[in-house]
């Protein structure tokens, strides 16, 4: 029974990883690609690790799997934010379909508050 549950979770995880790869190819700009790859790959890898933990079922695998999942959840969002911020600061344009640039608004607000303190 544990093998079947583990295989189902691993299969779903691989499908999410595949969707993240499709997003890297199909989406129009770097910001959408970062978003798609981060969300899909984190969920897919987490499900794959959970499936491996359930399938193998030992305490050592469980602890290592949880540590890997925790590391993945902490670092992936931070890395995606750093990549998107660096792309925005270096002038990488948004897709034509983009409606709002919240980061640009935040940057303008911070410049106004810095000028007010001088």
**How much is the pLDDT for 44?**
95
Is the pLDDT at 118 greater than 60? The verdict is: no
User: CB within 8 A of 31, min separation 6: which ones?
Assistant: 84, 87, 88, 92, 94, 95, 98
Between 6 and 118, residue with greater pLDDT? 6
Element housing 3 (H / E) = helix 2-26
Condensed to tens digits (0 to 9), the pLDDT of residues 56-103 reads 989 999 999 999 999 999 999 899 989 988 888 888 888 877 777 766
Condensed to tens digits (0 to 9), the pLDDT of residues 12-54 reads 999 999 999 998 899 888 888 998 889 999 999 999 999 999 9
3-state per-residue secondary structure call for 48-92: HHHHHHHHHCCHHHHHHHHHHHHHHHHHHHHHHHHHHHHHHHCCC
pTM as predicted: 0.78
**How much is the pLDDT for 116?**
54
CATH 1.10.10 fits 2-117, yes or no: no
Please state the separation of Cα 44 from the chain's center in Å.
10
């Amino acid at each position: 029974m544990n093998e079947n549950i583990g295989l189902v979770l691993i299969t779903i995880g691989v499908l999410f990883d595949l969707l993240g790869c499709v997003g890297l190819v199909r989406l129009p700009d770097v910001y959408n690609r970062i978003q798609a790859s981060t969300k899909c790959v984190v969920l897919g890898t987490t499900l794959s690790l959970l499936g491996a933990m359930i399938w193998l079922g030992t305490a050592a695998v469980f602890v290592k799997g949880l540590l890997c999942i925790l590391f993945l959840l902490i670092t992936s969002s931070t890395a995606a934010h750093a990549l998107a911020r660096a792309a925005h600061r270096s002038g990488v344009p948004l897709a034509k379909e983009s409606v709002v640039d919240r980061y640009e608004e935040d940057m303008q607000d911070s410049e106004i508050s810095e000028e007010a303190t001088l």
